[in-house]
Amino acid sequence: MALPEPQQVKEALSKAKNVLITFPAGRGSDAIGSSLALASFIEKLGKRVDIVAADFHLPGDFRFLPQAKRIANEVTSLRKFIISVNLAKTDLQDLSYSVDDKALHIFLTPKQGGFDAADITHRSSDFTYDLIITVDTPDLDSLDPLYHNNTEFFFDTTIINLDHAPTNEQFGQINLVNFNVPATAEVVFELMEAIAPQFIDADAATCLYTSLSAATRSFTSPQITPATLSRAAQLVTLGARREEVVTHLYRTKQLTTLKLWGRALARIKSDTKKKLVWSLLQPDDFIKAGAGGEELPGIIDELMTKAPEAGTIALLYEVKPGATDIFLHAGTGQSALDLLKPFDPTGNKSQAQAKLTDKSVLEAERIVIEHLRQLIPPLE
């Protein structure tokens, strides 16, 4: 009989030495807090842990989290190339190297005699990490370019898949996916409790509480259950710094951010038959607000809060004249990548981005919204 998933995870962690935690860069608050809490927890089990999310940039709201800056946006090296020289015939007197024209030249000076091709062998080392944990990741493609540049690593290494979304493709050797909770942080918390609850410290609890709060829009999401509220209370009991979380997530917004949000919220448009909501930002909006692109992820959250009945949410914005970016959050049963397919999108099934390099935001609105209206089925 197969072991329960938490027990399988415990067994995999006991065998691992070096763990890579990863998530898609665009997943935001839930993935950030969950990954930081999980890394802290696994290190207490005596393992080495790195967190990598390709093209990741830490949002300002989450810089207060313990060790938030440890999340890297690329893997430096997954394995080493080893060159071995047989020294049975003679010892080595000197070694040097040079690099020119993108070529490495290695110079070996024997104490006596010489080396020949038969004395030299080469091989690749084992991968740096012997276990991968994906957090809030619907599919491996959403980890691009980390996944597509290192497919052999992902195929050869055990993957633990932690998520809460119904769109998850169950791609791991171990899949701990709970559709009945509003955030992956809840899945991570349950797992940590099952493995070694004594290692859930105040910092880990604060990270998980932050994820739960942000993912549920301060516990106002309709997906909230009594169990979720109970777990949030448990995290506070374990030392989660609730006031610190509330202050950084909800009380310290920059005036520039609020101005930009206000401009986006004032332009909300909707197609109720398609459960489609969208808004626009023009170059003048960024200038007058004194804001930049780092404030944009929060606008999607605000649109979701102001229009909880929406299925698909689009934000079209033109930071510089003549080029429009599209950010799309897809509703249940839809794929953001499929919805934006004609525009060469990146991202995953839940959230995708695309760019129209020769269109103003008003021109892009006509093209993109009409396209979405044709693809999204009407509300039954």
Q: Which helix or strand (DSSP H or E) is residue 336 part of?
A: helix 336-339
Q: Are residues 156 and 191 in the same domain?
A: yes
Considering 248, 275, 294, which residue would you say is the last residue of a domain?
248
Instruction: Tell me the CA distances in angstroms from 68 to 18, 76, 146, 191, 204, one per residue in order.
Output: 20, 19, 20, 21, 12
Q: Judge contact between 239 and 206, C-beta under 8 A.
A: yes
**Token duo for residue 186:** 């809840």
What span, in angstroms and rounded, lies between the C-alpha atoms of 243 and 253?
15
- pLDDT confidence of residue 332: 67
- Which residues, other chains included, contact 240 with Cβ-Cβ below 8 Å and sequence gap of 6+? 202, 205, 206, 208, 209
Task: Give CA–CA dist 246/214, Å, rounded.
Answer: 10
pLDDT, position 255: 64
- DSSP codes, 259-282: HHHHHHHHT-EEETTTTEEEEEE-
Residue 308 has pLDDT above 60, yes or no: no
Residue 1: pLDDT over 60: no
Residue 305 has pLDDT above 80, yes or no: no
40 & 145 share domain: yes
pLDDT digits (tens, 9 = 90+) for 268-279: 888 888 888 898
Domain region containing 342:
255-375
Residue 380 located in a structural domain: no
Are 120 and 132 part of one and the same domain?
A: no
Answering whether pTM is above 0.85, one says no
Q: How confident is the model at residue 298 (pLDDT cuts 50, 70, 90)?
A: low
pLDDT tens profile 137-183: 988 988 988 999 999 999 999 999 999 988 789 999 999 999 899 89
Measured CA to CA in angstroms, residue 172 lies from 9, 139, 161 at distances of 11, 9, 5
- Look up the CATH number of the domain holding residue 274: 3.10.310.30
Are residues 268 and 208 part of one domain? no
Residue 146 within a domain: yes
Q: What is the pLDDT of residues 239-260, one digit of tens each?
A: 999 999 988 877 666 666 667 7
- The C-alpha angle 174, 175, 178, rounded to 5 degrees, equals 150
Amino acid found at 227: A
174 in the same domain as 43: yes
How many structural domains does the chain have?
A: 3
**Do 150 and 49 share a structural domain?**
yes
Q: Are residues 115 and 244 in the same domain?
A: no
Over residues 180-227, the pLDDT tens digits come to 998 999 999 999 999 999 999 999 999 999 999 988 878 877 778 899
Confidence label for 293 from pLDDT (cuts 50, 70 and 90)? low
Last residue of one domain, picked from the residues 226, 248, 270: 248
**Residue 220 CB coordination number (10 Å):** 10
- 176 domain-assigned: yes
